[in-house]
Amino acid sequence: MKLRDLSPLMACRRAGGFSYSYSQFSADPALNTLQWPDDVLEQFLFDHGSYFMDDYGDINLSAISWQLELIPAAEFLTMPTGESDGDCIERFAETHAYRVEQRPREVGRCWEERGTWLRPPLLLDRRLLNQSDSGLQVLEGRTRVGVLGGRLREELHVAPEHQAWVGRP
């Protein structure tokens, strides 16, 4: 199953707005075969699925296995994101303090106390996009990764490793 195959479900999600709950969405029979963790399903498909069509519409969702992994902070500094918004991580890094201020207070507390994000972002093994590629790519959580980069640049408290959901073949 490809992301494009879920276009009708994404349209239903958009049309329902805030009244269309995650539990309604995740109960859709089209998602039964994925067997993904709820956090991944919610961040990738429920929260942002329709916005990812340009970059990930042809990706085989059934070929992705998700694991929570610890990734060294330095690896995030060179990690790309989708082509359609390739410079956004750097923009978020430049405005990292503002980005945190716009979130609930607990997000800022987490950065100050633990030096990391509150919710693990989603990363993809680039081989899922192109067999000859290597490394990881930021799928969802580009603001979080930008904040990490900005904090590292300004030598603010940052943990040496960060949890992320990693999708691999």
- Provide the pairing of β-strand 161-168 with 122-125: parallel
Name the pTM for this structure: 0.93
In the chain, the percentage of residues whose pLDDT exceeds 70 is 99
pLDDT exceeds cutoff 80 at 2: yes
Tokens 């633990």 sit on residue: 114
User: Residue 51: what pLDDT?
Assistant: 86
Tokens 């990490």 sit on residue: 148
pLDDT in tens, 37-91: 999 999 999 988 888 888 999 999 999 999 999 999 999 999 999 988 889 999 9
Strands (E), 75-135: 122-125
Phi-psi region of 134 (alpha: psi -120 to 50; beta: other; left: phi over 0): beta
pLDDT exceeds cutoff 80 at 18: no
The residue ranges of every structural domain in the chain are 3-63, 65-168
Strands (E), the chain: 65-72, 122-125, 136-140, 161-168
Looking at per-residue confidence, does 147 or 23 come out higher?
147
Q: Are 53 and 3 in contact (CB under 8 A)?
A: yes
First to last CA, the chain: 14
Lowest mean per-residue pLDDT among 14-23, 61-70, 75-84, 100-109? 14-23
